Amino acid sequence: MTRPSKLRDLGDDELRQRARELSEELFNLRFQGAMGVAKNPARLREAKRDLARVQTLLRERALGLRRG
């Protein structure tokens, strides 16, 4: 799990890169789940929440609510 305070220290480009990485990880985890070879099913939930945190921070910055 990524802490929001650590995410706030990242720049916009780094956050976008982290969002891409998490999206790819989610795809792979879903694929593994469908194939029945998921090593850690709880990681799917963690990755979803981490992606939501990153997207929330990006949206806050886009709206000017918070600057990081």
In order along its 68 residues, the chain shows pLDDT tens digits of 778 788 888 899 999 999 999 999 999 999 999 998 888 889 999 999 999 999 999 999 999 887 65
Instruction: Fold for 4-63, please state it.
Output: Helix Hairpins (1.10.287)
The span from the CA of 66 to the CA of 41, in Å, is 33
Q: Crossing angle of helices 12-35/42-63, nearest 10°?
A: 150
Question: What global pTM score does this model have?
Answer: 0.85
Q: Are 51 and 22 in contact (CB under 8 A)?
A: yes
Task: Determine contact, residues 57/7, Cβ cutoff 8 Å.
Answer: yes
Q: Where are the domains of the chain?
A: 4-63
